Structure 1
Amino acid sequence: MTADVSIPDAARLLPELTQALHRFFHALDRRDYDAMLALFADDCRWLRQGRWLEGKPAVRAALEARAADVETRHVLTNAHVSAQDGTSAEVEAYMTAYRHPAAAQPDGAPPRIAGPLRFNLTTTVFRRDPGQGWRIAEQRMVTAFDFASASAE
Structure 2
Amino acid sequence: MSQTFETPHVAAVAPSASELEHTLTQFFLHLDRSSYAALLALTHARFRWHRQGKILDGHTDVLAALNERPSTQRVVHVITNAVVEDATPASITLGAYMTAYRSGDGPPPDGPATIAGPLRLSRVTTRFEAQNKAHNKAQSETPNEASTDTCSCASGWLITEQILTPLFSFGAQ
Runs of at least 5 residues in structure 1 that lack an aligned partner in the other structure: 1-7
Partner of residue 130, structure 1 = 132
Cα distance change on mapping 1:53 and 1:12 into 2, 3 Å: closer
CA contact (8 A) 1:95 1:122 kept: yes
Deviation at 1:68, TM superposition (A): 1.5
Q: What is the TM-score normalised by the length of structure 1?
A: 0.86
Cα deviation for residue 69 of structure 1 reads 2.0
Residues 101-133 of structure 1: CA distance to partner in whole angstroms, max 9, x if unpaired?
35232xx43110011111100000000111361
Percent identity at matched positions? Answer: 40
Q: Distance in 2 between matches of 1:69 and 1:53?
A: 23
Decide whether the 8 Å contact of 2:72 with 2:108 is kept in 1: no
Structure 2: stretches of 5+ with no match in the other structure? 4-13, 134-147, 149-155
2:97 is aligned with 1:74: no
Q: How many residues align?
A: 141
Residue 19 of structure 1 aligns to a residue in which SS?
A: helix
Instruction: Select 1:103's aligned residue among 100, 107, 115.
Output: 107
CA distance in 1, matches of 2:53, 2:60: 18
Q: Is the Cα contact below 8 Å between 1:50 and 1:142 reproduced in 2? A: no
Counterpart residue type for residue 129 of structure 2: R
1:1-150 aligned at under 5 Å gives the runs: 13-101=16-104, 103-105=107-109, 108-131=110-133, 133-149=156-172
RMSD: 1.8
TM-score after normalising by structure 2: 0.76
Give the ranges of 4+ consecutive aligned residues of structure 1 lying more than 4 Å apart after TM superposition: 8-12
Question: Equivalents in 2 of 1:51, 1:61: separation in Å?
Answer: 12
Please tell me whether the aligned partners of residues 75 and 96 of structure 1 are also in contact (alpha carbons under 8 angstroms).
yes
Whose relative contact order is higher, 1 or 2, with alpha carbons under 8 Å and at least 6 apart?
2
